[in-house]
Amino acid sequence: MAAYIPLFLFATVCLLLMLGYHVAFTLAGTALIFAVGGILAGTFDADFLAALPGRLFGTINNATLIAVPLFILMGVILEKSRVAEELLTSMAKVFGGLRGGLGISVVVVGMLLAASTGIVGATVVTMGLLSLPSMLRSGYSPSLAAGTICATGTLGQIIPPSIALVLLGDVLSNAYQQAQLSMNIFNPKTVSVGDLFMGALLPGLLLVFLYITYLLVYAWLKPEAAPAASRQRISAGEMLKSLLPPLLLISVVLGSILAGAATPSEAAGVGAIGALILAIAKRQMNVQLLSATVTETMKVTGMVFMILIGAAIFSLVFRGFGGEELIHGVFTSMPGGVMGATFVVMLAIFLLGFILDFIEITFVVVPIVGPVLLAMGLDPVWLGIMIALNLQTSFLTPPFGFALFYLRGVAPDSLPTSAIYRGVIPFIIIQLLVLAALWIWPALATWLPAAVKG
């Protein structure tokens, strides 16, 4: 019975989170209660808790995690300075004369916004407020409009520089070193956040291409559901004024990381300063807006790091009860070997995506299963991109997908929830096709990082 305590611990945490308790304190509190019970029953070694201060100090000293508040600040500044609104207006003038053109504009702007914020909720809410009314006024099918916005909003999971990839990269880096040490490799290879950014580039762009292709085909088959808007003229100067600054900012941030000229933390600092300069240049930044921006950044950052502390306590207690050995035993005895184990993990992460945010899954689930899967021979970049794409699909899937809830919160009452559910189904199919392609051809994720390193 004692061997299954780690599973009871994990199940208790999931149950409490479903009941709505705070994530960080649920993780830490439940783990400590189990640890105290285990010490009293003689099934848990209290020396494991002595390692906790060292772990937390290591988190404080982790230079990679400095990128998190800076990327959040960059995204919040771009969101509050109405850059997305100007971009959408300009892109609508460019593509509006085409059937499905407004939908294409939403995908392109959503991709750029996802690259700058990296937070699903922020992108879906922003695009829902900005583009949903105009799409409905233009005669778009409500389900097509809702599905396009939800799918575009989830691109923040996979389009670099994404906060999700920063956190996932840091966790996978630790898991990869731990896996190699368990195999008696004392000069371990490393995987970086930049590797994950490079690995996500091709799958992310492929998703955007398939979204746009679907919109064009849908508009061709059902022109009344995605009509062309009245063509508006836009000068080259107006287009450059709205498109060039954010595109240049994202290119500098991402390009400096991919080229190895800057670490993610350094590039995030450049991005935050660049976004601030951009907002000041557009005269969209004042003392009140700056105060609101810093406050929002501090709230999100505090939430992320509190969850990180709670997850560190949870994973320590989980390992102290022998959870890692239990998981390893289950995976190695599973039919299908490493790919069978990977499929089960992906299915579990997909289902957990209905009740947990990407931060909780990254900090709680990945440290448990990551070292075991990586020790079985999986490529860490491929595994990271598969997890990110899997979560993106989960956040889009009815009836519990987070993106659906975010859009429902800002959509008018005239848009039925059933229309939102119908609209996302084709995009879910596209997501699954890309996941299948990545499963069959891992080089979609691993080729670019290897080529750059080579």
In the chain, the largest separation of any two C-alpha atoms, in whole Å, equals 76
For 86, 132, 435, the CA distances from 136, given in Å and listed in that order, are 19, 6, 31
Backbone angles phi, psi at 379, to 5 degrees: -75, 130
Q: Give the number of other Cβ atoms within 10 Å of residue 328's Cβ.
A: 18
Q: What is the pTM of this model?
A: 0.82
Q: One digit per residue, pLDDT tens: the chain, 454 residues?
A: 667 788 888 888 878 877 777 778 888 899 999 999 988 888 888 888 888 888 788 777 777 778 888 888 887 887 777 776 777 777 777 776 778 888 888 888 888 777 666 666 667 777 787 788 888 888 888 899 899 988 988 887 888 877 888 888 888 888 888 888 777 776 777 788 888 988 999 999 999 999 999 999 998 988 888 887 766 666 667 777 777 787 788 788 888 877 778 888 888 888 888 888 888 887 777 888 888 888 888 888 888 788 888 888 888 888 888 877 777 777 777 777 788 888 888 888 888 877 777 777 888 888 888 888 888 888 999 999 999 999 888 888 887 777 887 788 778 888 888 888 898 999 999 999 999 999 999 999 999 888 887 6
How close are the terminal C-alpha atoms of the chain, in Å? 50
Q: In the Cβ-directed half-sphere of 377, how many Cα atoms lie within 13 Å? A: 6
Q: How far is CA 4 from CA 31, 46, 220, 326, in A?
A: 15, 19, 56, 8
Closest CA to 106 of 119, 125, 88: 88
Please state, in angstroms and rounded to a whole number, the distance separating the CA atoms of residues 247 and 287. Answer: 26
Q: 14: which 2 tokens? A: 């999931």
> Residue ranges of the domains in the chain?
2-453
Mean pLDDT score across all residues of the chain? 83
Residue type, 395: F
120, 71, 112: which is closest to 90 by C-alpha?
112
Q: Give which of 65, 71, 81 is closest to 279, Cα–Cα.
A: 81
Position 55 scores a pLDDT of: 78
What's the pLDDT at 96?
A: 67
Tokens 């690995």, residue located: 199
Q: What is the pLDDT of residue 387?
A: 92
Nearest one of 49, 54, 17, 51 to 33, comparing CA atoms: 49
